[in-house]
Structure 1
């Protein structure tokens, strides 16, 4: 054994049982005495700092963490936003210190030139801002606001609701394709259950419908909602009970119980659902095409037309605040104003 190695082992042996402060001081002595500590740690530090200062790697680590917690939708959103950002910059790695007001402004311009709506811009920016703020809290970058000059609000969306009369036509139409019939029935089920979102319908379990009510937690907010099972709801549940079979789910959308597999099925089912609603819209020659959101918006506007208070509509939808509900109703309110103006102009 060499003299230097023996000295190092004796030095380390003498440090057993020392406090953290004593160990820290001892490491400094070791570094000065042998000049090896800095060399030993330099490679590790470079790798660690590179991983910590990479916005992309940090975002991926958060997405992995979300996925491990079963928060698949959030993980997917993180990855989607980061993929868009890396596509814009044309590189796979983006350092945290490159996330500044100028780069985010350029990213917003790039998105808008690609025809992306302001609401989609806001969607990406709010996700990236959430990742950035977590990096700040973790001490990986300075506390700054690189998103101060980009759009992160929520604007009015195009009208997504349809007239309630259309729902009667939809209910009475006989579709020869069983897949279109299922899409139609799921759309109606959403309307009947106060605009239940597709993800919540997909994950409904048989035990959630008991005692004459459906009791479930919204996956988006975690809020518990209770819906009385009206005859029209029961009709759809009974119709598809044989199809749902031995699965734990109430409706024939998912079959997998393993979380990651179930989420993949949900994503695929949502795409198919919207594709079939588009086909139904074409067959019925609808000007306003049906989507997975339409039933929810239609329930809200139908309730509003019948003078149901906004607070009650907000509770029915499971919104956390009336502000979100007013966004739903904004397009309807505008159409009401336009109709009033038309009637006034008819006097002339």
Structure 2
């Protein structure tokens, strides 16, 4: 990463005893200088705090000028790192000292750079949301769309475009949140003029979705459907009940569980999305289902997804494919039950919360169990103080009506 630093060039001394104040540009272990046009005596410069001392007659004005110079070049450096990541220090100097450089950055290239950064951080869900929103925005604004073109009127037109093409309000909101995040990043990096920022006035609207939760009676009906053991649809139902029995574990976290995640009768894992550590007691429902799949040749608890020895991108691909297939079969099961909305893996998570609420468990306990960040602070402290027993007890009561033998 390139850096710039103010330095008084003491090697060069003018006839009046002053030396030029320069910017030292360092990139890939090489350096060069950029002139600021300011000249100072040694006694007028603080080399530690990098500022002009009060001895100078216009100290305040010069320090403000230097602050502006530093900010301008740092902004141009951030843009250069995106548009010209492989240039040497000489070319980099030419870029950032050009009057025209940094006035425009293509939205597509900026977004692609952010996507790659997210992937390196393992944040594939966020990366995909950026990709989806960018593709839609480029389709509307053109492949050469510049960050600076995105203002209130542009976003308003984009919203109308999405609406007229049948994109539902919550999907539109997801696009807008991704674009907002990208513009915020662009503003911080100096690639986007925040005076154009549309989201101070543009409100991202959402619509409350119909409840995706089912009752315990529906869950029991799902259990009672006769299915061929080992069939794809039988496996899909077992995935549903594993998510339900593990208090709404995500599909990806579930299929990535290994035998080593089971310790002292508990499943211990970190949620990929948040990094939060979970410790869930292995109830008989979960134990019975896992016993159908675990084998000696794989470290994974669900080896049917064939995740051994593959890289991160392949894991992501197989996860998406597995989720799609699972939800397809769950939808068929939902139709057999006469449900008006689709049965999916998400329904298992929301159903656990819905049933817990109906059984009288507090909102704070449910939030704690599901890993939500909201909830009463005192209750949160109480739960932490007593360990996992309270949540274990709640889960046991929720799962108790299910007859394990018919799964």
Alignment match, 2:336: 283
C-alpha contact 1:108 1:150 (8 A) present in aligned 2? no
- 1:24 aligned residue: 33
TM-score (norm 1): 0.76
> Does the residue aligned with 2:267 lie in a helix, a strand or coil?
strand
User: Hey, what's the Cα distance between the residues in 2 that align with 1:88 and 1:26?
Assistant: 43
268, 285, 298: which is aligned to 1:247?
298
Asked whether 1:75 is paired with 2:84, we answer: no
Q: Which residue of 2 aligns with 1:201?
A: 254
Of 201, 210, 215, which residue of structure 1 is paired with 2:268? 215
Counterpart of 2:389? Answer: none
State the alpha-carbon separation in 1 of the partners of residues 205 and 258 from structure 2.
35
Q: Cα distance, 1:77 vs. partner?
A: 1.4
Partner of 1:164: 216
Give the drift of 1:133. 0.6
Write the mapping of 1:112-123 to structure 2, written as runs, cut at 5 A: 112-123=163-174
Specify whether residues 126 and 261 from structure 1 end up closer, same or farther in structure 2 by C-alpha distance, changes over 3 A only.
same
Q: 1:111 aligns with which of 156, 162, 167?
A: 162
Secondary structure of 1:53's counterpart equals coil
Structure 1 residues 277 and 139, CA, compared in 2 at 3 Å: closer, same or farther?
A: same
Distance in 2 (CA, whole Å) between partners of 1:219 and 1:246 is 25
User: Aligned to 1:143, which of 172, 177, 194?
Assistant: 194
1:137-181 CA-partner distances (Å, limit 9, x unpaired): 001121243123444355421110112112112122222371000
Alpha carbons 1:70, 1:260 under 8 Å: kept: no
Question: CA contact under 8 A between 1:198 and 1:270: conserved in structure 2?
Answer: yes
- State the shift of 1:111 in Å: 1.6
Residues 281-333 of structure 1, C-alpha deviations (whole Å, 9 max, x = no match): 2233322320121011111110000110000000111111149xxxxxxxxxx
Using the TM superposition, give the Cα deviation of residue 268 of structure 1 relative to its aligned residue in structure 2, in angstroms: 1.1
Alignment: residue pair count:
295
Deviation for aligned residue 1:104: 0.7
- Corresponding residue SS for 2:269: strand
SS of corresponding position for 1:226: strand
TM-score (norm 2): 0.66
Change (3 A) 1:42 1:211: closer
Instruction: Answer 1 or 2: higher relative contact order, Cα 8 Å, separation at least 6.
Output: 1
What is the rounded CA distance, in whole Å, between the counterparts of 1:159 and 1:151 in structure 2? 24
2:112 to 40, 60, 64: 60
CA gap 1:247/1:149 in 2 versus in 1, 3 angstroms: farther
Q: Secondary structure at the match of 2:218?
A: helix
SS of aligned partner of 1:147: helix
- Residues 42-68 of structure 1 show CA distances to partners (whole Å, capped at 9, x for unaligned) of 799699748x61111101011012112
Match for residue 231 of structure 1? 284
Pairwise mapping of residues 307-326 of structure 1 onto structure 2 (< 5 A)? 307-322=360-375
SS of residue matched to 1:119: helix
CA spacing shift, 1:79–1:48, aligned 2, 3 Å: farther
1:86 pairs with one of 138, 146, 159: 138
Structure 1 vs Structure 2 CA RMSD: 3.0
